Structure formats: C-alpha cells, structure tokens
Structure 1
Amino acid sequence: MMKGEDSEEVEIDLRDSDDPDGFDDRDTETLWKAPLPLEEEENIHTSTLVEISDTKPLLNVRDPRGINDCLKTSFEDVIAEPVAVRSADRVWIWSHALFEVSRVWIYRIVTVLLAVPVSIISGLLLALLSCLHIWMVHPCIQCMLVGTRWLQSLWDVVLEIIVRPFFTSAGSCGGFSIHLAEE
C-alpha cells in the first residue's frame, strides 16, 4: 500500500482465471486485510501539557516530513512481467501475496530487534552532542567573539575605507563591452 492512500480492505483472489473447476460467483475469500486506520481514543484524559508535548508519539502520521519517500516500494515496482512472457495467474497472485506478507513481517521482526537499541543509542548520542554544544562549544565561541571584538571593528574599517571605494571606482570605470562574432 502506498503512503497517503486510505487504508481499506484488500481482497486477493487465489483462483486461477483459466481454472476450469473455478466458481463463477465473485465472492472471494479475504486472505489478507490491510490494517484499518487507528481511531483516536475518545476517552483519553490528558493534561494540556501532555497534549502539546513534542515527545508524544505520532501514531497515525509516522513520516510527516516525508523523510523516507524513497521507500514507497510496491510489488509492481520490484517485479514485472512483460506481455510476451507470463507465468500462471496463481503464481503471480501467490508471489504478490508472499512478497507483501514477507516485506511487512520481516520489517516488523527487524524493528522489534533493532528499534529500541537504536533509539536508545540515538537519544544518548543526541543528548551528549546537545550537552557539549550548550555547555562547551557555544560558550567558547562567545568568549572568542568577545576577545576578538576589536578585530571585527578593524576589519569593518578596512572594508569601508579601502576595499569598498576600490571596487566602487572599478565598477564605475565603465565602458567594457564584449562582442561575439561568428567567423
């Protein structure tokens, strides 16, 4: 299922279209259902502070900024049969179903194994970097800027007295033109 589409029930007919003992009625057995969208729980009693918190997880919108748009891959993006060479319909339907099921379940298994350790390591790393920047890097930069304030003033004077008039007069010297001619 592509991102941004509504979640709805998906039916996969596992009968071969040229199967002679197939049924003519189109009541198909639903073998796989996409999860229905999570509804907001109506009776949640939370404080205003929790509702405006940045740490409250977004359950319905998991990629609001579209960071992982490159991962919108479906079965048709990976496997495609040309018209001249085709497998049996059952093979195509079963391979589609197995592709989707294995993609979803392997992703779930790997995230169960890796999501918590990676998020702990990422949180630790970002906390350390934030602490270093707030308490060490930024104060050092501010001390350096205070100590070199005279150098900034001197550079401003040099730019205003020497560099700016030179380039202003060079720009005013005018009459340069370039003519391109074909030979």
Structure 2
Amino acid sequence: MMRGEDSEEVEIDLEDSSDPEESDNGEDPHTLWKAPPVVEEEENIHTSTLVEISDTKPLLNVRDPRGINDCLKVTFEDVIAEPVSVRSGDRVWIWSNALFEVCRVWIYRIVTVLLAIPFSVLSGLLFGFLSCFHIWMVSPCIQCVLIGTRWLQSLWTIVLDVIVHPFFKSTGRCCGGFSVHLAKE
C-alpha cells in the first residue's frame, strides 16, 4: 500500500469529554478517533495503458453505482444506542465506537479476501450458463411458440374487438346515466 510517499499521522483523542466546552475544535467527542478520508490523486496511480482503457477502471471508484446495497450502510449509531436514562462513560463509548468500526472494516476485508474470488468465479459461471441457456434455448422456444400460435393471437384479438369491447362499452353507457346521491338523515 506504500506508494513512496509519507502517510499522515492521525491523532486519536480518547479522553473524557463530558463537558462540550472542553473540546478544542468543536467536534463531537465520539468522532474524534476517525481519520479524515484520504483523496487519492489520479496522477499518483501508475497503470499500464491496458488498464487505462479497461471497462473495469471506473468500477474502482464507484463500486455500487445502482445502489443495490444501500441497506448495508450500517454505522455504530444504527446498531448501538444508549438512551438518556442510562449512559456509559465517554471513554467506553468512544472506544466501543472505534472498535466497532475497525472490526467491521477488517472482518469485511478478511472475509472478502477469502471468499470474493471463489464467489466471483461461481457467479460468473452461473450467469454465463444462464445467459447461454436463455439465448440459445429459452428465446428460440418462445419464438417457436409465438409463431405457432399466431393464429390464436389473431382469434383472441377478434373476440375482444367483436364481443367483449362492444359489450362493456354499451354496459358503461347504460350505467353512465345513473347518479347516486347520498344524504345523511
């Protein structure tokens, strides 16, 4: 992960800060442990010309463009919340928050390293098989059925136009003259 540049040092303040005036920079005490997000510059990324023209390069920055997994945006406050009547110490709350986030991120990374490639291969095989099956078997069968039953579609259209449509149109005109007035007695 080293790219030949010095990484910034992040200060973690885990002191009790029950008094909001004690906070130096005005931030909430439960967010002091978080490091600011590092913005990577495009010129620092050294890639080959093959990767630059690849279709997968945009996927590195936006990994859920359609918002499929919006339900998984879980934060510490979504899982653990203390009511006003019972509270733990500020250090306990800050350390719990920090450990929750660190464990969540690292467990996800470890499980991803172990399972992402096998599941990607299995998913690719499954979707490839299903695509092939649909393109070469399902679609031609459906087209054969549609060609063979074209006369039935024409007959059904004639029945709807000659019998059903006029019946409901005349019924609607007959019932359209009625009006109902409700009065409260």
1:161 and 1:17 map into 2 onto residues whose CA distance is 81
**Alpha-carbon distance change, 35 to 113 in structure 1, aligned in 2, over 3 angstroms:** farther
Structure 1 contact 37–60 (Cα < 8 Å) conserved: no
Q: Is the 8 A contact 2:16 2:90 kept in 1?
A: yes
Distance 2:72 2:23 in 1: 37
Structure 2 letter corresponding to 1:46: T
Which residue type is aligned with residue 161 of structure 2?
A: E
Per the alignment, residue 73 of structure 2 pairs with: 72
**Alignment RMSD, CA only?**
3.1
Structure 1, unpaired ranges of 5+: 1-8, 19-23
For 1:99-178, list aligned pairs within 5 A. 99-173=100-174, 174-178=176-180
Higher helix share: 2
Q: Distance in 2 between matches of 1:83 and 1:175?
A: 65
Give the equivalent residue in structure 1 for 2:39.
37
Identity of aligned residues (%): 70
TM-score normalized by the length of structure 1: 0.75
Instruction: Compare relative contact order (CA 8 Å, sep 6+) and give the higher one, 1 or 2.
Output: 2
After TM superposition, where is structure 1 displaced by more than 4 Å over at least 4 residues in a row? 24-27, 41-45
Equivalents in 1 of 2:84, 2:35: separation in Å? 29
User: Residue 76 of structure 2 contacts residue 97 of structure 2 at CA under 8 Å; is this kept in 1?
Assistant: yes
CA 1:102–1:80 in structure 2 vs 1: closer, same or farther (change >3 Å)? same
- Where does structure 2 lack aligned partners over 5 or more consecutive residues? 1-8, 26-31
Q: How many residues align?
A: 166
Contact 1:12 1:93 in 2 (8 A): no
State how 1:5-44 maps to structure 2 within 5 Å.
Answer: 12-17=12-17, 33=35, 36-41=38-43, 44=47
Residue by residue over 1:36-82, the C-alpha shift from the partner in whole angstroms, topping out at 9 and shown as x without a partner, is 233334665536x935x3x4451111111111111112112222223
| In the alignment, structure 1 residue 50 sits paired with structure 2 residue 74 | no
With structure 2 as the length reference, what TM-score do the two structures score?
0.75
Give me the whole-angstrom Cα distance separating, in 2, the residues matched to 1:82 and 1:25.
Answer: 23
Deviations 1:17-43 (A, max 9, x none): 47xxxxx9969xx97635523333466
Cα distance in 1 for residues equivalent to 2:106 and 2:46: 31
